[in-house]
Amino acid sequence: MRAARHRALSSGHGGDLSASNHEFQTDPVFYRASTYTPPSSVPEEKARSRKSFWEEAATTIAGACTNCLAPRQSEIREGHVKSSEDAHDVSTSSISRISSVSSTSTSQTKSWQDQFSFQEVCLATSNFSEQNKIGKGNFGTVYKAKLRDGSIIAVKRAKKNMFDRHLSAEFRSEIQILSKVEHLNLVKFLGHLEHQDERLILVEYISNGTLREHLDGSRGEPLEFSQRLNIAIDIAHAVAYLHGYTDNPIIHRDIKSSNILLTDQLRAKVSDFGFARLAPYDTEATHISTMVKGTVGYVDPDYLNTNHLTERSDVYSFGVLLVELITGRRPVERNRGRQQRLSTEWALRKCREGDVVVVMDPRMRRTSAAVAAVERVMALAAECAAPERAARPAMRRCAEVLWSVRRDFQQEQQRAAGAVAGAGAGTRRRDGSTATYGSSCMEQ
C-alpha cells in the first residue's frame, strides 16, 4: 500500500529514495540540490486567461485573512492561530494507525546523551546566555552552541512550562518528523537531549538568519529577483520532498518566511517542524481532521473552516510565501492603509489589473526579463492560493514551473547582455576606444 502511494505521488518518475542516479539527474524535485538545470522537456505552464481566477483567489484570500484576524474558536498568540490541545487529531480512515504513528517512542531517534551531557551543552551555550540567543519560535528559544571540537550547532530549548510528565505535542512531533527526513533544503536534525525538566533539540547551525530578516532589510544586501527565485525553488523542493518522497506524506503546517533559514550562499532550508503532521498510511485517506494551527496570513482558508488538513494546505502557504518574496511585504501589515493591509489580496488585485511592476519590491531591479518572470511567479502564487484546494497544484508541479521560469529568465538575461555587448562593439571610435551605453539598457 505504501509502495502504491509512492508510485502515485511520483507520477511515473520513481518515488523511492533508492532510485537510480538517472532518476536523480532527470527529476528536479528528486535532485536534492537545486543547482541542477533540468532538461528542456520540463513542461511549460499552460497559457490561459486568469482574470476570473485572480478575482476569485483575491476574494478568498481576503476572507481567509479576515477570519484569521478575528477567529471564532481558535486562539491567536504571537501571530499564531493555534488550539490549546491537539490530542484529537485523527485520520478520516483510521484512528488507530495515526495514533500509533503519533505515539512512536522518541527513543528511536538519535539521542546525544550518549555523546555528551546536558552540562556540556550548557558550557557550549555559555549557560544559555543572551549573547548566544539567535531566535525564538513556537517551541522555545534557539541558541548558538560551540562544541569542544570547535563545531557550531543550534540548540532549541523548550519552554519549561510546556512540560508536565510527558513531552509536549510540539516537542514529540518535531523530533519524530526530523528523525525521518533528510534533504539539502531541510534543516538537518542532529539529535535531542532530555535532562530533568529540560528538553533540547539539536540541529545544524545556519549562519545567515531567516528569509524574513533579509526581506525586512535587517540582514545582508537587498535580494535581487534571481536570488529570490532560487530561494523559492529551494523551498519548493523541500516541501515537495516532504509531501511525496518520505515513507508517508508529511504536512509542515507552518510554511512562512521566518521558518526559512538562509546559508551564506543564500540557499534556503526549511525549519521548525513543531506543527508538522504525518499523513495517514492509508492511501484512500483524503485528509487529517485536526484543530487549526499555523500563522495568521498563511493559513489555508479551507483548513481554517473545516479543520481538514491536507498537503494542499502547505501549497496555500507556499503561494502566500511567493507573494512575500516578490513584494517584500509581510502577509498582514497593520500599519498600511486598508486597501494594502492584506498583502496577498492587494498583490493579486494589482496583478489582475495589470500592475505587476507595482507589486515588486522596490529594492529589486525592474528589467524586462525580471518583470516577465514576476508575472509568471505571481500567476503560480494565485494558483497555489486557489479557493478550492483541489484546484491548487502539487508542490512537485510548483517546482517544475519555477524551474521553467528560472531557465527562461536566465536565457533572457543572456540575450539582453549579448545585445548590449554587440551594441558596444558597434560604437568603436577611430582611436580604437569603445563607447558604452551603460547599465540603463539593461533596465529597459
**Burial classification of residue 39, based on how many CB atoms lie within 10 Å of its CB (0-12 exposed, 13-18 middle, 19 or more buried):** exposed
In angstroms, the CA 2 to CA 282 distance is: 8
Is residue 220 pLDDT above 70, yes or no?
yes
pLDDT confidence of residue 3: 43
Kindly tell me if the per-residue pLDDT of 431 is higher than 60: no
Indicate the CATH number of 106-204 among 3.30.200.20, 3.40.190.120, 3.40.50.410, 3.40.50.800.
Answer: 3.30.200.20
Joined together, the cell numbers standing for residue 276 give 508538522
Cell of residue 367, nine digits: 528589467
Decide if 254 is catalytic: yes
| Of the listed ranges 46-55, 170-179, 237-246, the one predicted with least confidence | 46-55
Q: Smallest Cα–Cα separation from 351: which of 359, 343, 361?
A: 359
Across 90-104, 186-200, 366-380, which has the greatest mean pLDDT?
Answer: 366-380
The torsion angles phi and psi of 14, rounded to 5 degrees, stand at 95, 115
Contact 405/325 with Cβ under 8 angstroms?
no
Model confidence pLDDT, tens digit, residues 298-350? 999 988 888 889 999 999 999 999 999 999 999 998 888 888 888 999 999 99
pLDDT, the chain, mean? 75
The CA-based dihedral angle spanning residues 60, 317, 368, 225, taken in that order and rounded to the nearest 10 degrees: 150
Nearest Cα to Cα of residue 305 among 249, 384, 387: 387
CA atoms within 13 A on the CB side of 170: 27
Instruction: Look at residue 82 and tell me whether its pLDDT is greater than 50.
Output: no
CA distance 392 to 386: 6
pLDDT for the residue numbered 46? 42
Catalytic-labelled residue, pool 86, 254, 300, 361: 254
Q: Which residues does the annotation place in the binding site for ATP? A: 160
Burial of 253 (0-12, 13-18, 19+ CB in 10 A): buried
Domain locations in the chain as residue ranges: 21-84+209-409, 106-204
Task: Please state which of the ranges 137-146, 321-330, 380-389 shows the lowest mean pLDDT.
Answer: 137-146
Helices (H), 70-131: 95-102, 118-124
Using the predicted structure, report yes or no on whether residue 38 has a pLDDT greater than 50: no
CA-wise closest residue to 403 among 381, 428, 378, 377: 377
Provide the residue type at 386 as one letter: A
> Which of 68-77, 331-340, 346-355, 397-406 holds the top average pLDDT?
397-406
pLDDT of 388: 87
Give 373: exposed, middle or buried? Use CB within 10 Å, 0-12, 13-18, 19+.
buried
Q: Cell triple for residue 388?
A: 478550492
Q: Rounded to whole angstroms, how far apart are CA atoms 262 and 34?
A: 14
Mean pLDDT of 291-301: 83
Burial 333-359 (b: 16+ CB within 10 A, else e): eeeeeeebbbbbbbbbbbbbeeebeeb
**What letter represents residue 53's amino acid?**
F
pTM of the model: 0.73
Residue 137 sits at φ, ψ, to 5 deg, of -140, -160
Average pLDDT over residues 68-90: 41
Q: Give the bridge partners for 140, in sequence order.
A: 158
120-135 pLDDT, tens per residue?
999 999 999 999 999 8
What does each C-alpha distance from 175 to 62, 168, 275 come to in angstroms? 35, 11, 11
Q: How far apart are CA 43 and CA 403, in angstroms?
A: 10
Options 3.20.20.140, 1.10.510.10, 1.10.760.10, 3.40.50.1820; CATH for 21-84+209-409 is 1.10.510.10
